[in-house]
Amino acid sequence: MIRQNIKVAVDAVVFGYKEKTLQVLLIKRNIDPFKDSWALPGGLVLESESLEEAVERELKEETNATVDYLEQLYSFGKPGRDPRNRVVSVTYFGLVKPEHHTIKADTDASDVAWFDINELPELAFDHATILDMAQKRLQNKLTYEPIGFDLLADKFLFSDLEKLYMTILDKQIDRRNFRKKILSFGILEELAEKVSEGRGRPANLFKFNQKQYFKLKEEGFLFDIK
């Protein structure tokens, strides 16, 4: 008879967009192994909870954050990834608007902070591999689903949307064609409110019309920024 002693955990890669940079939420561990190392929020799944309930609980306990957008990423189960036990981690990636959350460390975390994706500390376990996969998923998904709006303020300048895409995709875009294509979808509302941007004339703010997007999606609309 085959006996198993495998534990199930969840880990979360939470992205935010701050100061015109893509950032990820990390905790500093206060227990071994990897004590005082930075890591992704996460932990073991309790007997009484679903995977989604587990990841939401761990995020709340360790960071005080609740996620605006959350989806399952991948399962990591390589033997030896956790020196204590054989642990399979079901990982998630999420998106939040950092200004909507007051982060606070608790339970297994001694600290919590946002880190620029290009200026990361050494991460515990195999979390660097998990984060790399999550970043690639985000870059890919950004081109066929409007998840970028989950990272922007509720009202934003069109230039903010352009900068978000260039930052996450890590490349320049044709700004004129990008604007023309996005506006052709009919999922942005141009508001009467204006904001001064640099030395130029005040520019109108925009708002994502989620209701209109889902209505169009039901009718077969495809969001495509490639």
Instruction: Check if the beta carbon of residue 182 is closer than 8 Å to that of residue 161.
Output: yes
**Domains of the chain as residue ranges with CATH:** 6-141 (3.90.79.10), 147-218 (1.10.10.10)
pTM: 0.93
The label of the residue with tokens 């506006």 reads: 183
Q: How many helices (H) and strands (E) does the chain have?
A: 5, 10
Separation of alpha carbons 81 and 100, rounded Å: 34
Separation of alpha carbons 200 and 192, rounded Å: 17
Looking at residue 107, its pLDDT comes to 87
Looking at residue 124, its pLDDT comes to 97
Q: What is the DSSP letter of 37?
A: -
Looking at residue 145, its pLDDT comes to 93
Looking at residue 116, its pLDDT comes to 97
Separation of alpha carbons 202 and 102, rounded Å: 31
Tokens at residue 170, please?
């890590």
Instruction: Check if the beta carbon of residue 148 is closer than 8 Å to that of residue 161.
Output: yes
Looking at residue 165, its pLDDT comes to 96
Strand order in the sheet with 188-195: 156-157, 203-208, 188-195
Looking at residue 49, its pLDDT comes to 97
Looking at residue 75, its pLDDT comes to 98
Looking at residue 128, its pLDDT comes to 98
- Judged by DSSP in three states, 21 sits in strand
Nearest to 26 by CA among 98, 133, 100, 99: 98
Looking at residue 130, its pLDDT comes to 98
* Mean pLDDT split into 10-residue runs, the chain, 226 residues: 89 95 97 96 96 96 91 96 95 94 91 97 98 97 94 94 95 94 95 83 93 91 85
Nearest to 14 by CA among 126, 110, 127: 127
Looking at residue 222, its pLDDT comes to 87
